[in-house]
Amino acid sequence: MPRQHTWGSYILAAYKGVHALLQECAITFTPKPLVLVVSGTVPQGSGLSSSSALCCACMLAMAATLVGDTSKLPSKTKFADAACKAERHVGVMSGGMDQTVSLCAKKNFASLVTFVPSISTKDVPLPEDAVFIVGNSLAVSNKALTNASKYNLRVVECRLAALVIARKIGIATTMEEMAKISTLRDVEAKLVCHSANSEDGAAGDGVGVVAPLNDHDDEELQHDDYHCPAAIAARELLHAQPYTQQELEEFLGASLADIFDNKEAALITFEPAATLNKGFKLLQRTLHVYREKSRVHRMAAACADAASLESPAKRAKASSGAASSALQPIGTLMSSSHESCARLFECSCPELDRLVEVMTDAGALGARLTGAGWGGCAVGLFARENVQDALKQIRKEYYLPKFEQAKASSPSIDEEAWFSERCFVTAPCAGAAFVNLP
């Protein structure tokens, strides 16, 4: 892959991904030159998965061209897994959520994505009264250009946290055992079991236990621990101060370079961690990940509960405020998620925090950043009956000053087009599909 990042890098990554997938599935294909026409309306760097959408769409188009008969192609979940791996060629330590939703989403449903033992999705019904407003904070988020200090660094911190936990509870004492620990999920079950069986809640030598997070972890976020025993257990084993590279290497018994197999995507994060954060914030990232997992499952349950209350008979009897009441548990989880993203995972930014605040003031039942963070978009949940008034207020409070600045440099700019491209009402749509042109 070229070291200079361009959007063409994602197309090259898609081509590599298609070849690997077809070979893995033993599907016969004939390599051939391709002519691609790319068009789209997803704003670049907006946190709306424009890079994943491009990679996934290109992979489908390339596979159809190379194989010919689309009925012979692998499932969309296999494409999602291949697309996730393909994007890593660009230098981003990508997960698979964006790719899976880009390919497997169903109209009017949320998707509950599971990655173990393999990628799968479950359609989660959304209440008819639920409407989402997406707003672009206008702070550009480019994962490929800032991965060393942001996206990739969070991936590295989460793996290091998993390794420290694994070492402390005695399930990874050698390099071979540590190589099997990639994510916090890999240690979650044994962490909870170890905590339940421990008399004093703490174990292991080396990195010590200190006081709770204080400034970065208020009572509202700690309340999530009632639903998350892994977060409680992690508090017993990880300290709140950033871990230095020397501290981790001494405790783990190996250099971080060796632990990460000298992969550049990980190595480039070590210096930013030291200079920006004075080390790796393992406890903060761990609490966010475990609590967020809990919130995801509670969110799916809350959506199903709210949707079940929307029978025609019940809707006919509902008062004007009933819709908001039914949706409030969903909104509360969204808002808690944003607080955790901002305080513990530290992947928000002032513009996103302000936009979430404006959405809340406009009547959002909940709002949070979406995408990788550090810029891009926020999404707010509204009752259908309130959405148009809310849209007007958000445009006035957040976007009008920015529009006036844009108009000063481009007097002919169309006001409605400018606003509608940056803040709009939306609903879940279907994922990528083939369209046969005449």
Cβ of 166: how many Cβ atoms within 10 Å? 22
Please tell me which residue in 98, 186, 217, 225 is annotated as part of the active site.
98
CA dist 66 and 171 (Å) reads 45
Q: DSSP characters for 156-205?
A: HHHHHHHHHHHHHTTS--SHHHHHT--STHHHHHHHHHHHHH-SSS---S
Contact by Cβ (8 Å): 392, 399: no
Of 68, 88, 50, 66, give the one whose Cα is nearest residue 18: 66
Cβ of 271: how many Cβ atoms within 10 Å? 12
Question: Which residues have CB under 8 Å from 86's CB, separation 6+?
Answer: 13, 14, 16, 17, 18, 20, 55, 59
Question: Which residues have CB under 8 Å from 426's CB, separation 6+?
Answer: 132, 133, 134
Q: For residue 383, list its beta bridge partners.
A: 130
Token pair for 20: 């690997």
Residue 98 a catalytic site member: yes
Token pair for 219: 């009572």
Contact by Cβ (8 Å): 119, 134: no
Q: How far is CA 121 from CA 84, 99, 188, 241, 379, in A?
A: 15, 12, 21, 37, 22
Question: Which residues have CB under 8 Å from 232's CB, separation 6+?
Answer: 195, 225
Active site residues: 98
